[in-house]
A and B are shown apart, each in its own frame.
Chain A
Amino acid sequence: MSSAPAKPADLVTVNIDGKEIAVPKGTNVIEAAKLVGVEIPHYCYHPKLTIVGNCRMCLIEMGMPAVDPATKAPVMDPATGKQKVNWIPRPQIGCGTNASPGLHIRTNSPMVKDCREGVTEMLLINHPLDCPICDQAGECKLQEHSTAYGRGYSRFVEQKNVKPKRTELGPRVTLDDERCILCSRCIRFSKEIAKDDVLGFIDRGSYSTLTCYPGRKLENNYSLNTVDICPVGALTSTDFRFKMRVWFLKQTPGIDPESSVGANTEVWSREGVIYRITPRQNDAVNDTWMSDSGRMLYKQVKAADRLLAPMIDGLATAPEMALKAANDLLKAGSVAIVGSGRSSVEEQFLTKKLAEALKVPASLVSRVGQGDRLLISSDRNPNVRGALVTGLISALPTQQLTSLASDIDAGKVKTVLSVGEDLTAAGLAAAQLAKVSVVFLGTHKNATSDAAKVVVPTLTIFEKSGSFVNQQFRLQKFAKAVPGPAGVADDLITLSNLVSFASRIITPADLGGLWSSIAAEVKPLAGLSHALLPATGHVLDASAWADLPVCEGETLHYKPAAVPAAVNA
C-alpha cells in the first residue's frame, strides 16, 4: 500500500445532473444516482440480481470527457473553461453503465424524459390497468413510475393482448400473466438465489408468457420472494391475494424465528390482525430475502391450539392463582429449569435470574435440522447465542434432556419449569413427567402443557418486543406487531413476577428498565439498550465463544469456521 492518497484508488468521480460524486469504481449509474438523491426509475434492475437491461426504463444520457484522439490531451470548452464532454447521441441503460472516471450522466434532459414516456407508454398498452382490484396497487412500481414519468393519457385503441389470468405456479404463488411486464426478475431470482431454475418465458414478442418449465412447480421455500420483487401485480401470494389493501397495513420490524440466521422481517398488520410477513433488507444478514416458511408463522397467532387461559391441573383459573401455584411449587425446592433458545435475550436474562434465585442450573434444548445454505441454518433455535451471552447456559445445549431425565428417575427433581419447551419432544417420557410437577409457560398446547400442573399462557413473537442474537452474534430486535390475546400477560411480566417472588427483589418487567439491569450485569451487552439498537442489529464480540463446536453450515452471509459433517445436504 502506498502512502494514504487523498482519494482512494478505487473511487472514481462521476457527474450526475451536474453534481459531482465519488463512488467505488464499477458502481452502476442507478446506485450512484441514489447517492446524490437522483432517482432513476427502473423495473428489471435489482441490486441483488444480475443485470439484463431489458425494461429500458433506466435509459439515461451519457457522456465522457473529450480528449484529443492524437495527443490524449483534454479538450477544453472555452465557454465554461472546463473539459468538454462528448455526449453519446444514443441513450444508455443506467443499470448496465458502470462508473468510470469522468463519466457524465444526465437524467433530466428532454431525451431522457422522452425515453421514459415512451417506455412507460409501451409497458402500459398491454397492461390490464386493473389497479382497483390489483393487490400490488399502492406498492406498484408501474403505478408509481407511470404517474411520475408517463404522459398521463393513452393513445392505444387496439385490443389488448389476452393472457392467462390465474396460473398457479406453485402452492404459494399465483400468476396473472396479463400484468406481467416481462422484467425477468423472478426468473433470475429462482436461478441465481434460490438455485431452483423453474421459471421461464414461452412464446415471443409481446405474447411472451411467464410460466414454469413443463412438469415443474415454483415450490421451493423461497418462492414468495418472487412476489416481493415483482415490480407489478403479476406474481401474487396466494395467501395474501385479495385479502387487504396494502395502504391500510401497519409495518412492524420483526425477526424470523425459524433458525439462527435471524432474517429481518416486516410484519404487516391492521387492527390487531397480521396479514403478511415480508423480508426487511439487511445486507449483512438476509439481503432482501426470506423463506416462505417464515412468512407463514403468523398463522400461529390465531391457531386453534393456542393456550389462552391459565390452568391448574387442566382447569382454567385466574392468572394470579396460576402464578401463586407456580411460585409455591418453585419455592418447595428440588427444581429444574428448562429455558429456551426461542426465548428473547430479555426472557433468557430473567430465566437466568430465576435460576440464580432458586440456586438451580438451567438447561436448554437444541433443535437441529438441515440447513439450506441460504436463510435457514442447521441451528433451528433463533437465540441459543443469546443464552450464551446472558449466561443462562455456558455450554452448547443438547437435543435430549438426558441428565434431567436421570435426575427425575433418581428423585432429585420434584418440579420442572419449562419456558415454552415441549419436554416430551426433548426426550422426557410421559412416565417421567408424571413423577414431577411441571410448570409450563407456553403459547400452544402440547404434551407438556397437557401433563403440566400449572400452565401460564405466553405470547408469540408477533405479540411482544425483544431481541435475538443470531449466528453471527448479531443482536437484533423485533417489535410487537399486534396485541396478545385478552388475559394473557407479557412473558416478561410473568417471568419477572416469578423472579421477584423467588429472590424477594422487585425485578423490572418493562424493556427499558430491564435493559438497564442487562447492560449493567451482562458484560457483552454493556452499554446497549433495546431502544437504541439499530434496525440492522449490532454485532457483539463473540471471541469468548469462538471455539464452541456449533452445529452450523454455511448460509447466505455466514461461513462457519469448520463445517461439521452432514450438516448441509
Chain B
Amino acid sequence: MSIKGKAYIMGAYEHPLRDAPDKSTPQLHAECAKGALEDAGLTKDDIDGYFCAGDAPGFGAMSMIDYMGLRNVRHMDSTETGGSSYLLHVGHAAQAIAEGKCSVALVTLAGRPRQNKFFGGGAGKPGQLTDGPPEAGYENIYGGSTHNTYGMCAMRHMYEYGTTSEQLAWIKVAASHHAQYNPNAFLKDVVTVEQVVNSRMISDPLHLLDCCVVTDGGGALIVVSPEVAKTLNRPKVKIMGAGESPKGPMGGRGLDLTHSGAVWSGPIAFGEAGVTPADIKYASIYDSFTITVLMQLEDLGFCEKGQGGKFVADGNLISGVGKLPFNTDGGGLCNNHPTNRGGITKVIEAVRQLRGEAHPKVQVPNCDIALAHGTGGSLGTRHGAATLIMEREA
C-alpha cells in the first residue's frame, strides 16, 4: 500500500495581494479556494475534503467550512505543523483519496500579518477591528454556551416530535445504572426519571442531570498495523469503518437543530464496515447532554427520526435490560468527560466491551461488533461528527 500514483494536484492558486487591508482573513481563504477551483475547472460543491492548519480562523476546520459553504465535506484535517502544514496536508489528502475518504480535497492558507493594527481572537475590543473567526462578531455576543445551544436543539426536537423531558431523563437513568459498577465514575449513584426532571433547570429544557460531568483526566489509544497486532498478546479490536462530517448553519439556510452530522458520518462508516445498525451489539454515544444521545441515535439509524424519545425510554439503553446497551462505563453523563472532550472515552469503553473486559454487570454477551460516535463543537451552531465501527477478531 502506498499513495504513489493515487492522487493528482489539478488546481493551484496564489492570491495576488501582498498587502490586504480591505479583506478579512476568512475572505482571503475563500478567494484562494475560488481561484484554485476555477483553475481546476471545478465548483465549490465538488469539494468533499478540506484541509487547513491551526492558524485558520475559528474552531478547527469548522468555521472555514461553514464560512465557505462547503456542504459536501466528508473528510477534514487541521493538522498543525507551522509553515510545513500544507505539505503534510497534500500527503494526507493523497492518503485520504487513496482510501476513498474523499475525491476532491481543498487545502487553503491565508493571513494578514502586515495588518498589525488588527489582532486575532473572537473578542471585541472597542474601537478596533479584529481578524478572528468570521462568525465571532455575529454570534459570540449572545452568551452562547454548550448548555443553551444544546438546549435550543432539545427545544426544537420537542416541538417537532413531541419528545419529553421524561424521555430524555431515561438516558441519564441508563448511564447511572452503568456508572454504579464503575469504581472510578465521578457520579456513582443510580438516579430515577423523577430525580432528573426535578433537578434544577440549567437552560430550558435541560436540567442539571441532563448535563454531563466536568472532569479532569484523559485517555490514550494505540492503533497498529495488522502485522504488529499479530505480535501482541491482547484481544484484537479491528477497525471496520469510519465516517466524518461537519455541520453548520451554512449561510443561515441549512439550520436544522433536530439532526446532527451523524446523518452523514454514520452511513459512511456503516457502508465501509459492511454492517447495519441492527448488527451493533454495543454503542458508545457521545453524551455531553441527554439530547445529544437522543439525536445521534436517531441520526445513526438505531430508530426512526423523531422516535428517539420512545426508543430510549423504559431502560432500552441499559445493559442486560434493553435492546441497545450504551455507554456502559457510565459515559460522560456519570463517569467521565475529560477536559470537556469525551470522544476518547467513547472509544475506550467500546474496546473494553469488544475485549470482554467491561465490568461483568454491564458486559454485553458475545459483543463482536461495536460502534463509537461523537460530535464536537456544538450541535446548536457548528460541529464535527465522527462514527467508528469496530469488530472483535477471534
- Do the two chains belong together in a single complex? no
